[in-house]
Amino acid sequence: MTDLTPEQALSRLEIETPSWGYGDSGTRFATFQQPGRPRDVFERLDDAAEVQRLTGTAPSVALHFPWDQVDDLGALRAHAEQGGLRIGAVNPNLFQDPDYKLGSITHPDAGVRRKATDHLLECLKIAEELGSTAQSLWFADGTNYPGQDDLVGRRRRLLECLGEVYAALPEDQELLVEYKLFEPAFYATDLADWGSSLLVCQKLGERARVLVDLGHHAQGTNVEQIVALLGEEGRLGGFHFNNRKYADDDLIVGSVNPFELFLIFCELAGSEHPIPRLTIDQAHNVEAKVEAMVLSVVNIQEAYAKALLVDRDALAAAQAAGDVLAGHSALLDAYRTDVRPLCAKVRAGLGAAEDPVAALRASGYVEKITEERGATAAVAGGWGR
Ligand code: LRH
Ligand code: MN
């Protein structure tokens, strides 16, 4: 619970955009390239800097390795800082190398586990050079058929590898452990739900916390309740914001279920704990990528603004009195408030645009990068590149 005014709290909101959200992305069916797409991580940072310029609320960028690998990490860090950005969470990639078909840190073969662990240890060093303070870990590890592997054996291998990584974790870094119900594994995913991640974090140590990706739950899951529970345990490390109608659709946050997003921010705004890392994790397969990211930041700002307007005293009184609908209405009143003027005022106060989407369209930025970068590459780059 903050004693800041909604305006003050909103002006302190910081959202992390994903480098891979600016690059090519698609489904198993196709990757459609967009004119003006960034050709390397430096241009992905340029697009992120434009989102920060327009919204004033997106000062950091999450990176993915090796998708964002460069020879000179110092030059990458400097390029980010020149754009008014800092490097956010480092995301190791243990889901594309053919060696990881049957798993990475859970793989039956010790040599493959060694290779996976070495990549995680390398990412600790990469983060140090980039000034990043978080390792954001997602493992595609899982099986497709009963009997394919020993589920307990995989668990022990996972804990052994992560134990080595946690022991090497620099003081200023934390581990964020993401879970996902399924895909690419379709029988058993080794980190399938919040409980599975929480148990791992509790075994590792205080600087290991759970990351909640909004697209990683079974249909009907009450995500805001998971947020409340993990927050109460002091183990809510961060979010991957996006939205879905069916599975891990990675659509624009707030575009399918804005009320759920509002309820998640009600839990965050009502918590004694500071707001955790707020990262967007989306794939803009058909929509304009830079505008999609700008709209996503605006949707998160508005959800938080509405949550900050909840009359907490009225809510608490209704809940204490068992007045069910008075409690519900206390949330509805805030949710139904038009917070666009408040958010516009806060953005203007930060030197950003009152209406970032309109400002982007009027800026000619997309036309400029399309001119500079050319229409599309000969061959689709595939995810994140
Ligand atoms: C997995 C995931 C993970 C990222 C990837 C791009 O579905 O959410 O967070 O590494 O998307
Ligand atoms: Mn994610």
pLDDT average per 10 residues of sequence, the chain (385 residues): 90 98 93 93 98 98 98 98 98 98 98 98 98 98 98 98 98 98 98 98 98 98 98 98 98 98 98 97 97 98 98 98 98 98 98 98 97 72 54
Find the ligand nearest to 213 CA: 2
Amino acid at 76: L
The CA 223 to ligand 2 mean position distance, Å, reads 14
pLDDT at residue 377, rounded to an integer: 57
Inter-CA distances, 75 with 63, 134, 169, 303, 384, Å = 15, 20, 24, 36, 20
Please tell me the distance from the alpha carbon of residue 190 to that of residue 119, in angstroms, as a whole number.
Answer: 19
The answer, yes or no, to whether the previous bond of 18 is cis (omega within 30 of 0) is no
Encoding tokens for residue 109? Answer: 């073969």
Task: Give CA–CA dist 88/106, Å, rounded.
Answer: 27
**Ligand with the closest atom to the CA of 280:** 2
What are the Cα distances from residue 163, in Å, to 114, 117, 205? 13, 10, 9
Ligand 1 atom, smallest distance to 248 CA: 7
The overall longest dimension of the chain from CA atoms, in Å, is 65
Question: What residue's CA is closest to ligand 1, atom 6?
Answer: 281
d(CA 195, CA 179): 9
From the alpha carbon of 140, which atom of ligand 1 is closest? 1
Cα(262)–Cα(306) distance, integer angstroms: 7
Q: Pick the residue whose CA is nearest to atom 1 on ligand 1.
A: 138
Residue pair 37/380 in contact (Cβ under 8 Å)? The answer is no
- Note the pLDDT of residue 384: 53
Which residue among 119, 243, 281, 385 has the greatest number of ligand 1 atoms within 8 angstroms of its CB, and so is best to mutate?
Answer: 281
- pLDDT for 3 equals 85
* Atom 3, ligand 1: residue with shortest CA distance: 138
The pLDDT value recorded for residue 374 is 84
Distances (CA, A) of 53 to 15, 297, 352: 13, 12, 6
